[in-house]
Structures are given as C-alpha cells and as structure tokens.
Amino acid sequence: ADALDVERIRGDFPILQREFDGTQLVYLDNAATTQTPEPVVETIVDYYRTYNANVHRGIHQLSQEASIAYEDAHDRVAEFIGASGGREEIVFTKNTTESMNLVAYAWGLAELGPGDEVVLTEMEHHASLVTWQQIAKRTGATCKYVPITDEGRLDMDAAAELITDDTKMVSVVHVSNTLGTINPVSELADLAHDHDAHIFVDGAQSVPNRPVDVEAIDADFLAFSGHKMAGPTGIGVLYGKKHLLETMEPYLYGGEMILKVTFDDATWNELPWKYEAGTPPICQGIALAAACDYLDDIGMERIERHEADLAAYAHDRLTEQDDVEVYGPPGDDRGGLVAFNVDGVHAHDLSSILNDSAVAIRAGDHCTQPLHDVLGTAASARASFYVYNTKAEIDKLVAAVDDARQLFA
C-alpha cells in the first residue's frame, strides 16, 4: 500500500494546532496517550446527545440502542485483533493494567501454587511485573525474568531454558514501551505451549501501532488500552481464548455479571458479561469501536510503516550525536518510539526544556524501573510517534535537544 496522507490525517486532530506562546505543539508522547480524532470525538458526543442509557437490562428504546452499540463494539474489537470467537472473547475493562489484574487474580490465584513459575521478561511494564510479582507472593509461585541482550532484545536461548514444565504462565510485552523492541511473541507462545503453559501478551504498544492477529500469535490472553489507539481513556480490552474465559472464575462481583442470585449463592452470566460487573464503560467502548474503524480506514500496515519510518529517522538523528545514548535495537527494527539520554542533562530537565519549545515528550522510568536498573540509568527521555507525526517534528525535537545541550554545557 502507498504511504498514509499525514496532512489529511492531521486535519482530524484539532488539538495538534494548539500553540503555546506562539509555538505550535509537537506531540511526541503517544506511547503514553494518543490524541483523539474528530470521528471518535463525534461518536462520544453523539452517544451523550442522542442515546445515553444504561445497557443490558433496559426494555426502553434508548437502552436498547445503547445496548446494541455497546455489545456490537465487542465484535468490532474482536475483528480488529482477529479473534474469531467475537464478543465472547472480548472483555472491556478500564485499561491494560486492569486486564492484567483480571487474569492474575481470576486465573493466577486459582491456578498457581508453590513450585509453579511465571516467566516474564526484564522489559516488562510494571502493569504485568508488579501484578504477577504480587500474585506469586500470595500463591507461593516464583517469577523468573528473561534477560535482554546488549542490543535490547530478548535472549531467546535463555527464554528456552527458563520456560520449563514448572512454567504455568509466560507474560510478555509485545513491543517494549521503553526499548521499542518488537518481541517474537509467537515463538514465545510456542515455547509456552510446548510446556502446557499459557501466554499473556501485553499489547499496549502493539495493537495501536501494527496489525496484530491474536490467533496468528496463538496468544491465550492479550491486553491493550483504548487511550493509546485514538480512543478515549477509561476503556481497556482483555482478549482471552473462549475456553479459558469460560472456565475462569470472575474477577469482580456484582450486578450484570450474574445469571441467578439467591441468598445462598449465584451463577454467572454468559461471556463476556461474566467479567463486566456493574455499569460498564459504555460510551468508551462504543468510541473504541469507532477508533478501530478510524485506524482500519487508514490501514494498520500503513500505520506500522509510517511509525517505523519515523522511529528509524529519529534513531538516526539522535545516534549521530556523540553525547546521546539511545536505548534498544537498531533504527530499522523497532516500534515507533525512541528512549534516550543526553550526557550531562537529566531526562526531566531535558523534557522541561523541550516543553519550552512546545515539544511534548516523556521523562522518567516509563513504568519500567527494573529495566532502567539493567540499562544503568534511573530515567530516560522518550519520544513516541503516531499516525499524525512527521519528520519535521522530529527535526524540532532534535533542535530542542540542541538548545538543552547549550543550556547545560
């Protein structure tokens, strides 16, 4: 396919026209949260203007309209990630973090015990690392970590040794939000399945940015967040293979998730509602489906190529400077983000000076403290890209880095 039309796409994001003291915003914090295009904003406005109501239980017309749109949104998301089971395999949560906690509590507390192992990687986000760590402590299971190579890739020989018959769960980030590494998740799924373990894929930085097919990967579970893929906050997704979601216990109890309740006991609703207790994120779910439409209209392959292009360009422009250290794999093999440090300038100071030029980046540990320990630094600066970013914006980033260097040199 041809390249995407960035100028046309930018027209869908009025926020990109904002100016700070006369300087136009350069938004390079997309790995944290992406901006929301007009069709998605309109979906949200249309929902509240015309058919806002609670779902599932209503007989009245508004509730029926809201219910149909909300339930259909699950099918749309299933289609987006290639889940042939449709809505039954798609649970709407608050975010990636909640999707992980759901599985860790519902599956982990029931299935893990002393002697069992959860295999993670050194580049896990705290969302999975802290969650499995705490569930392991409660159950007596052990967490092990696949190390990274000097290039910031997973050491797959080590992975093959760490994943054994004691392994019950392999939880791995698909694209690292710090290194930009694209991990070989289907290879890891094969390793897990060879030992009758499950694999949980953290798709927070992959589903928004490249075509992801859960069945091609053979993921047992996969999680991602709406706010990183042109959708709203307050909506996340847990994909799970139907037979696993069927056998797992619920994570949250309450209304909507039940079938029959007596004073003594209760039975559970059908999938996926069994995992959606209480009033769900109705508008957010519907808006997420609109975000899937928006991204598919552009084309996920195009988006992937556009981001790879920007990442390679940013990587080149930053690595050509002697005092800049860029973390992770080479420029031509990474997701759309670049984390780096400038010698003698703390990442937080850098970010604050960039802010003076209206360049928005992230500074800190990016919820990967143990990984930063491995990298030998407490913090890094991170520029991350999306459909609307341009090379000219990366030039502005590099110019602002020059300004910071002048100030601190």
Kindly list the catalytic residues.
Answer: 367
Residue 97 binding ligand PMP, by CB under 6 A: yes
Looking at beta carbons only, is 94 or 405 nearer to ligand PMP? 94
R_g of the chain computed on alpha carbons: 22
- Distance (Å, rounded) from C-alpha 134 to C-alpha 396? 42
Residue 202 binding ligand PMP, by CB under 6 A: yes
Taking CB under 6 A as the binding criterion, the range among 161-169, 199-207, 370-378, 383-391 that sits at the site for ligand PMP is 199-207
Taking CB under 6 A as the binding criterion, the range among 2-10, 54-62, 154-162, 198-206 that sits at the site for ligand PMP is 198-206
Looking at beta carbons only, is 36 or 97 nearer to ligand PMP? 97
What's the burial of 147, exposed, middle or buried (CB within 10 Å: 0-12/13-18/19+)?
middle
3-class secondary structure, 266 = strand
- Distance (Å, rounded) from C-alpha 292 to C-alpha 298? 10
Looking at beta carbons only, is 67 or 384 nearer to ligand PMP? 384
What's the burial of 3, exposed, middle or buried (CB within 10 Å: 0-12/13-18/19+)?
exposed
Residue 96 binding ligand PMP, by CB under 6 A: yes
Q: How far is the CB of 367 from ligand PMP (least distance, A)?
A: 5
Q: How far is the CB of 95 from ligand PMP (least distance, A)?
A: 3
Distance of CA 167 to the CA centre of its chain: 24
Distance of CA 145 to the CA centre of its chain: 20
- Distance (Å, rounded) from C-alpha 277 to C-alpha 256? 6
Among 146, 204, 245, 397, binds ligand PMP (CB under 6 A): 204
Residue 205 binding ligand PMP, by CB under 6 A: yes
Taking CB under 6 A as the binding criterion, the range among 11-19, 94-102, 153-161, 400-408 that sits at the site for ligand PMP is 94-102
Task: Answer whether 190's CB lies under 8 Å from 134's CB.
Answer: no
Residue 127 binding ligand PMP, by CB under 6 A: yes
Residue 125 binding ligand PMP, by CB under 6 A: yes
Residue 173 binding ligand PMP, by CB under 6 A: yes
What part of residues 336-375 is at the interface with ligand PMP (CB under 6 A)?
Answer: 367
Task: Answer whether 53's CB lies under 8 Å from 65's CB.
Answer: yes
Among 43, 171, 225, 389, binds ligand PMP (CB under 6 A): 225
Taking CB under 6 A as the binding criterion, the range among 64-72, 164-172, 201-209, 243-251 that sits at the site for ligand PMP is 201-209
**CA–CA distances in Å: residue 260 to residues 61, 189, 254, 256, 270:** 25, 37, 12, 10, 12
Distance of CA 271 to the CA centre of its chain: 23
Residue 177 binding ligand PMP, by CB under 6 A: yes
Question: Residues in the site for ligand PMP, rule: CB under 6 A?
Answer: 31, 95-97, 125, 127, 173, 177, 202, 204-205, 225, 367
